[in-house]
Every structure is written in C-alpha cells, then in structure tokens.
C-alpha cells in the first residue's frame, strides 16, 4: 500500500506547473487532457519531487467553492512538507527564485526548517537535516 497522489487546488495549471518544476525543482510526471464528470475539458497534471513516489495532482479550481480553497487548503496551517538534503543551498535557491518565506530558518529536534508559501499561498515546511 502507498499514498500515490494528493490534490492541490490552484487557480491555473501553467503558472502552478512553472512554480513546481522551475522554482521547486519537481518533475512534471503527467499533463494530459481529461474531462470533468459533466464532460467539460480539464487537465490531469501531476508533479512530484525527483525520485519520489507520491505526487501532487494540480487541480484547477472549478467554481466558487473550490476557488475559495485556493491558498487555504489546510486552514492556514502548514500542510505540506518538503524534505531536502541541503537545506541552506535549497533555501538560498528558493529565495533567489522569489519564493516567499514567512519564517526565518530555525533548528528543531527533527531538523532545520523554514515556512514558505507556494504559488497559491499554501504553507509548506522546507525541512533539512539537523
């Protein structure tokens, strides 16, 4: 058993793909045409960190209810955790790419961390070795 995908609701596909692939360094695992349950066109877009099994399904918000969840999928809490081998280099690269960090790096018992926002405004922990 394994967790294959989690969904992240975004405003638009292409800016989200660019953020995850060019800024965070994820791989674009799939970008295929698809249809909604009622036959409208959509895309099946999956990104994942290199070598990871679990991916993120980028789902364009469909309707007011879903648009209200963009950037607030976990009610303002950190909901996503990106573990890296070289915290300082990754943090610096992300800053240079314009990523917004809402905390300064700090050390916790489980490693170095700083909280950043994704393209939609969701909170992520950037985690590195202690």
Residue 37 has pLDDT above 90, yes or no: no
Could you read off the pLDDT of 73-96 as tens digits, one per residue?
999 999 999 999 999 999 999 999
Average pLDDT over all residues of the chain = 96
- What is the pLDDT averaged over residues 7-32? 97
Of all residues in the chain, the percent with pLDDT exceeding 90 is: 93
Per-residue pLDDT band for 125 (boundaries 50, 70, 90) equals very high
> How far apart (Å, rounded) are the C-alpha atoms in residues 66 and 27?
25
Per-residue pLDDT band for 122 (boundaries 50, 70, 90) equals very high
CB count, 10 Å around CB of 53? 10
Phi, psi of 96 (to 5 degrees): -60, -30
How many CA atoms within 13 Å lie on the side-chain side of 114? 19
Q: List domains and CATH numbers for the chain.
A: 1-70 (3.10.180.10), 72-130 (3.10.180.10)
pTM above 0.75, yes or no: yes
Beta bridge partners of 41: 35
C-alpha dihedral (106, 108, 113, 117), degrees to nearest 10:
-100
Question: Which structure tokens are listed for 83?
Answer: 């573990």
Residue 98 has pLDDT above 90, yes or no: yes
Lowest mean pLDDT, pick from 37-41, 89-93, 107-111: 37-41
* pLDDT recorded at residue 35: 87
- Which string of DSSP letters, residue by residue, matches 5-46? EEEEEES-HHHHHHIIIIIS--EEEEEEEEE-TTS-EEEEEE
């Amino acid at each position: 058993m394994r967790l294959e995908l989690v969904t992240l609701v975004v405003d638009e596909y292409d800016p989200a793909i660019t953020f995850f692939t060019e800024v965070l360094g994820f791989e674009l695992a799939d970008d295929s045409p698809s249809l909604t349950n009622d036959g409208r066109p959509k895309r099946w877009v999956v990104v994942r960190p290199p070598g990871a099994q679990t991916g993120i399904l980028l789902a364009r918000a469909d309707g007011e209810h879903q648009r209200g969840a963009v950037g607030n999928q976990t009610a303002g809490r950190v909901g996503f955790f990106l573990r890296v081998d070289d915290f300082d280099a990754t943090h610096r690269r992300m800053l240079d790419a314009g990523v917004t960090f809402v905390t300064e790096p700090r050390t916790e018992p489980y490693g170095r961390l700083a909280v950043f926002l994704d393209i939609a405004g969701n909170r992520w922990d950037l985690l590195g070795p202690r």
